[in-house]
Amino acid sequence: MEMINAIGRRKASIARVYLTKGEGKITVNGKDYKNYFPQTHIQANITDPFITVGVDNIYDLKINVRGGGFKGQSEAVRMAIARALVKINEDFRKPLKDKKFLRRDARVVERKKYGKPKARKSFQFSKR
């Protein structure tokens, strides 16, 4: 099997995943994914697509991710892994789609408006 690559995006993060046959080694930006994402609930985002289709510890992953914070990065990686798995086997599409791993979550932070401290928050109103 050759190398399969896919791209995932979330908020300001872009993840490029390179998937090959192996023994389940996952590296993110040159580090092990457990060191790069120390929180366990964030690590689960990365392994969820494999568990969903039941192919954990079969593929090696080399991931390049940039932009955004750790949560957005992990969700971008999750989307890229799901897309790569669908390229390998089209039968994986249904379970991954049911869990919404293939859908691009387009929600981003709303811009700050002038005359306000944040996007929608206003200063305290004084009637008198």
Pick left, alpha or beta for residue 59 (phi over 0 → left; psi -120 to 50 → alpha; otherwise beta). Answer: beta
**8 A C-beta contact, residue 15 and residue 27:** no
Backbone angles phi, psi at 12, to 5 degrees: -105, 10
Query: Among residues of the chain, what percentage have pLDDT more than 70?
Result: 99
- Is 99 in contact with 52 (CB distance < 8 Å)? yes
Q: Is a pLDDT exceeding 90 seen at residue 80?
A: yes
Confidence of residue 93 (pLDDT cuts 50, 70, 90): very high
2-23 confidence digits (pLDDT tens): 899 999 999 999 999 999 999 9
Conformation bin of residue 33: beta by default, left when phi > 0, alpha when psi is -120 to 50: alpha
How far apart, in whole angstroms, are the C-alpha atoms of residue 62 and residue 33? 10
φ/ψ of 113, rounded to 5, equals -100, 150
Q: What's the confidence (pLDDT) of residue 107?
A: 93
Give the dihedral of Cα atoms 69, 71, 75, 78; nearest 10 deg.
100
Q: What is the pLDDT of residues 103-121, one digit of tens each?
A: 999 999 999 999 999 999 9
Q: What is the pLDDT of residue 56?
A: 85
Residue 128 pLDDT class (50, 70, 90 cuts): confident
Residue whose tokens read 């060191």: 35
pLDDT band for position 122 (cuts 50, 70, 90): very high
